[in-house]
Chains A and B, each alone.
Chain A
């Protein structure tokens, strides 16, 4: 009996481990920031470098912080959907322009549309490191008290929006568009 049972159980255990390994996406690294307060930052704006954008602007709203760059193919892919989201106006979208060229980034926004309330210009990628960014595009969902609710790595699509973002936003706000703290 054992003669057959042992090899079969070894096989089953191995098969389960290997099947799990095959189905995982190795480039997806879950963020330890989820559930924690978002890292504070202050950066010059992309369009108006003399004006600062930072955690203070995000506070009080359920907001998105989208990490993007003109060198990033996935960012171009998701840009149309971000513009659509901005038009729906359910919540403010902020950008973190990561290791980019200011003039190229500005012409990208003027030709493809600008979904962002403001984009922070992170030329050296220092704020990105603070946020644990490792591959654009990445999108953070932030609660009114500044907690990171969710992080999506890869282009944002309507499907991801409906399955991952909307339930969390509705749980946080109750209704759409999300009322900000001040307007309550």
Chain B
């Protein structure tokens, strides 16, 4: 492999990271810029719902990016921008839904399922421990 094709190969490896959609130049203040980047990666594009507005090139996504940029440049805080979006588009616009009565099941389900798993596991263990030792040994030999 000569030098040139090696460089092409290596740069192709990093191709995925160069796929940012936002064509705008970075904001002047690096702190606001990073807050802006972080925020647009948490806002859902309602046109192509499995993409964030940072990933999506839908016209609505670029409009929303422009609005959020403008607001953040004017010094509007992150919480206020999120509030602005939620009052207009609802909680669905957020990739991380807030913890509230309608989402208790959503957030609680993993803990709930883990709990059920632990109970089932404990029961199986208890049943097994009650079995006489000889039976277990013969079972082990059978599997061996």
A residues with a Cβ closer than 8 A to B are: 26-27, 29-33, 39, 99, 124-126, 128-132, 134-135
Contact B88–A32 (Cβ < 8 Å): yes
Given known contacts A26-B49, A29-B46, A132 and B63 CB-to-CB distance under 8 angstroms:
no
Given known contacts A99-B59, A134-B46, A30 and B90 CB-to-CB distance under 8 angstroms:
yes
Given known contacts A29-B90, A29-B92, A129 and B46 CB-to-CB distance under 8 angstroms:
no
Task: Write the nearest CB–CB distance from B76 to chain A, whole angstroms.
Answer: 14
Query: Looking across the interface, which residue of chain B has its beta carbon closest to that of A124?
Result: B63
Contact A32–B49 (Cβ < 8 Å): no
20 new A-B pairs (CB below 8 Å) besides A30-B90, A124-B66, A132-B88? A26-B49, A27-B49, A29-B46, A29-B90, A32-B86, A32-B88, A32-B89, A32-B90, A33-B88, A39-B88, A99-B59, A99-B63, A126-B67, A129-B63, A129-B67, A130-B88, A131-B88, A132-B89, A132-B90, A135-B47
Inter-chain contacts of A30 with B (CB < 8 A): 90
B residues with a Cβ closer than 8 A to A are: 46-47, 49, 59-60, 63-64, 66-67, 86-90, 92
Inter-chain contacts of A27 with B (CB < 8 A): 49
Inter-chain contacts of A31 with B (CB < 8 A): 90
